[in-house]
Structure 1
Amino acid sequence: MRSLVIPANEYRRSRWRNGAGWTREIHARGPRGGAADGGSDWDWRLSIAEIEQPSTYSRFDGIEREQVLLHGNGLDLRFSEGTGRALEPPHGRCRFSGELGVEATPVDQLAHVFNLMWRRDAVEAQLWHRPLVGPMVVFAEPGVTWIMHLIAGQARFADDSGLPGLCAGDTALLESESGRLRHVLDGSGEALVIRIQPLE
C-alpha cells in the first residue's frame, strides 16, 4: 500500500444492523495488506460511529477496540462485566475488548465517536491525541502504518510526498514500500495519531 489521503466526504456511510446509529467507514486493511471491504476479513479497521440513542455494540471476538469522542456532550459505556466508563468532552477515550457486551448511551441525543479496531493476534496498535502546532514529523517504515486523523484545523504535507492537504475530518495513511520515508505535517489543530505494526 502507498501513502494516501482519504477525504471525509469519501467515507462509506451505512446504517447499524440494529438501527440505533450510523457508521462511516474510513478504511479497513485485510490480512494480506490490501484494502478490505466492510465485512469481517480485516486485520484493522477505522470508522466513525454516529450514536443517536441507547444502543448495544456488536460483539467482535479476538478484537481490541479503542474509541475517542469526536463530537457531542459525552457517551456513557456500560460493560457486561459490570463496569462503566464515560467518554467526556472534548475527546474522552476508552480501550476495551471486543468480546465484552457494551451498552452505549449518548449524553445529549447524538455522539460521534472515532473507532479503531484491530485483531490482537495479527497487529499491535497505539493511539495518541496530539495538538498540531507547527510541523509534526513521522518516519514511515516498511510494514508499519501511521495514521493521522485530523479532528480540527487544517494541515498540509511540507515535504515532497505529493499528498494533498488535510481538512478537519480527513485521514492520512502514511506508509513506505522500501526504506524509511519522512513525512512532515504542518498546520494547526488537533489530530489522532495511530501506529499499527504487524506482530512477528
Structure 2
Amino acid sequence: MTCSASLDRLIAPIDYENLHLVQLGAEHREALRAICPPDDPVWEIYPVRLSGEQFDTTFDGIVGNPDRRPFAIHEDGTLVGISGFLNIDLVSRVLEIGGTYMMPAVRGSGLNGRLKPLLIARAFDSGFQRIEFRVDARNARSLRAVEKLGAVREGVLRRQRVTWTGFVRDTVVFSILHDEWPR
C-alpha cells in the first residue's frame, strides 16, 4: 500500500449504524458553531476554545492544518461533534486520535465509546501501526474513556502544552499498537 493510498483510505467517510463521519469542512462551520456554547465548562480544560470570539480562528486552524484530518460526526443526521486524526506520520505509520469535541447533550451517552473504535479500526486498516492519545491530565472523563479503549498509559509529559487560557498543562500519553487491537 502506498502512503497516498493510506491517507486516502484514512479520510474516507465512515458510516456505521446511525453514525456518519465525513471530513470537516467549511460547510460545517455554522452547524458546529451552534453546538459549541461559550459557557460550556469543558473549555477550561481544552487546549483551544471552539466558541465565542475564538470560534472562527480555531475552526480555521483545525480545518486548514495539513497535519490534521478532522471528521464532522453526525448521529441520526445531526451534527453532534468532531474528532479525527492528528500528527499523521505516514513514514513511521503513527498518528494521534484527538481533537474531539462532543456537544453537551451527547456526553455520557456512549457515543464516544462507539466512535473511537471506528477511528481506531480505520487507522489500522489504513496501514498505521501505532495510535496515540494525548489527554490533559485534568480531564478525568477523557482519561477514563481512553483507558476503556484498552490503550496503554505510557507516561506524562510534564508542563507540555500551553492552553488557550494560558494554563500550562501536563499531558498524559497513551497508545494502542496494531497487534494489540482486537479484530
Q: Same fold (TM over 0.5)?
A: no
Q: Which has the larger radius of gyration?
A: 1
Give the TM-score of the pair, scaled to structure 2. 0.27
Bigger share in strand: 1
- Structure ranking higher on relative contact order (CA contacts 8 Å, 6+ apart): 1
Bigger share in helix: 2
Give the TM-score of the pair, scaled to structure 1. 0.25
